[in-house]
Structure 1
């Protein structure tokens, strides 16, 4: 990611975002890349250069709480409608009337709210690893969600949220950064179910300094950069995406979203990883199928971080699909 393409943009609620922007060539669309947890815009290091080299515009902000963007201490700042407004403010500041939205992980949750509240600004959506998130209109109870997941899937999918939403989770991660990173970017994604989906195991694993080894697709140099970014900017604020969800801060705004806004009336591309333990087709993909009127589905042989592990395949899939859009 070329440092010369970064700029600081302040959104309407006064928060400063660190934004990568490579302008599009004449007649080419711009892609908005929204990363997930626990990363930063550096997550797009294998995507942004590929797209820009083909004349496509790229906008990739450090999402709220991460990288060089503002790091609020209040979970209320992470209400998803407010974050969606921030992203639109960024597009306005860059003079971009319409873009193609691309999300990964929590970036897909932000993308969901952009679809719900600002769909007219998008020519299409690309969902990587995670599909459309229907806004919850009933309180989220993590214990109830875990029980439902166990009944449906046989394991407590949300178990790791218990750790990530703890008030001291940021300190724990900072103090045990390598065990956290080598769990997040594990050499073998099959490790996740035994750790993430079992109550108490994520904290036990991280605090115990269990080192699994980094993924083969993550070179030491990149691992060190990811590690240094977290050491420099901290974990506390970016964990508030989870706290916001557990605290139900979106609930009242969700209730105001009209059902007519739920359908995704522009084309969508979903790319999933066949080895991603976090992907639950019965939840994520079925919801996307329910609301997307024009949906293409692709799969790659990868874990959760498909755009990094199988960058060439994912980049090509995005490029070819974007070429079919009317932008």
Structure 2
């Protein structure tokens, strides 16, 4: 992604955001892409390369805690309503009325809160691996209740790693053994997640013991160095706040500001389910969409794990392109 096309804006909350921006040609919509943990805006580089030459407007921020954006370490600042307002401030800076908003991982959470708090700014919504999520206390339950909650629901502790990420010394442990963390997060075999990330204490034990494993083929030397440099330069304490905020009363208070009728999604919705994602199982998105989606739902499925944006970039761009062309927005 062209560094010269990154801009900066200070939001109403006082945070400076870095974001990639490419203006649309006449008649073309603006696409907004939101990344998750532990990435940055460059996660969407293949989609930017695909859609920008076709005249689409593109907005891809480094979200709060990442890249060139501010990195506060107070989890209370990562509530959904605040994050959504930050995005609206970026759109206002560029004079953009509505976007087609597309998210991955925690970026899907952010797109969900944009729908809840600023529905008029979202023309359509796309979710990759992680579907729409209405305001709820599910992650707080995962982080505070004894292991067993998710085992009852899906057969194993698919979110066990979150309990490690929410611990006070998680950032210190990860930064000390960052290469081990990257081996765990971007493994050659998706079974590594099922056998370690999704086992109580498994993620912490892996990183603390500095275990190594072959990286996925898409993790080129250049990409590994980019990830290492970005995470060490900014530290990982801020990105971990996206997990830790779920322990804060401020999160529940923020969720309570969304009226029940605003939990529903009236916009066209795309869900790209990934059959080998051991943590973010397709059933979660499918269940939420049956409950909350009131507009047209398009579901596509890929034989990939959590990192399909890296492993299947061409397929993701094709799916998005076909869906966007068919939208009446």
Q: Judging changes above 3 Å, is the alpha-carbon distance between structure 1 residues 151 and 46 closer, same or farther for their aligned structure 2 residues?
A: same
Where 2:276 maps in the other structure, the secondary structure is coil
Number of equivalences = 327
> Partners of 2:15 and 2:174 in 1: how far apart?
25
**2:154 maps to what in 1?**
153
> Partners of 2:46 and 2:206 in 1: how far apart?
30
**What's the offset of the Cα at 1:179?**
0.7
**2:299 maps to what in 1?**
297
Report Cα offsets for 1:115-165 as digits up to 9, x if no partner: 111111111000000011121168933243742211122212221111101
What TM-score comes out, normalization by structure 2 length?
0.96
**1:165 maps to what in 2?**
166
Where 1:289 maps in the other structure, the secondary structure is helix
Aligned 8 A contact 2:190 2:277 in 1: yes
Moved more, 244-253 or 160-169: 244-253
RMSD of aligned residue pairs (Cα, Å): 1.5
**What's the offset of the Cα at 1:248?**
4.1
Report Cα offsets for 1:254-290 as digits up to 9, x if no partner: 1221111111111011112121112323323210222
> Partners of 2:171 and 2:232 in 1: how far apart?
11
> Partners of 2:261 and 2:189 in 1: how far apart?
42
Moved more, 102-111 or 72-81: 72-81
Aligned 8 A contact 2:275 2:281 in 1: no
> Partners of 1:2 and 1:273 in 2: how far apart?
29
Matches within 5 A, 1:226-265: 226-265=227-266
> Partners of 1:153 and 1:296 in 2: how far apart?
24
Aligned 8 A contact 1:272 1:306 in 2: no
Q: Judging changes above 3 Å, is the alpha-carbon distance between structure 1 residues 180 and 265 closer, same or farther for their aligned structure 2 residues?
A: same
> Which of these residues, 320, 323, 326, is aligned with residue 322 of structure 2?
320
Moved more, 99-108 or 204-213: 204-213
Q: Is it true that 1:34 corresponds to 2:43 in the alignment?
A: no
**2:74 maps to what in 1?**
74
**1:109 maps to what in 2?**
109
**2:65 maps to what in 1?**
65
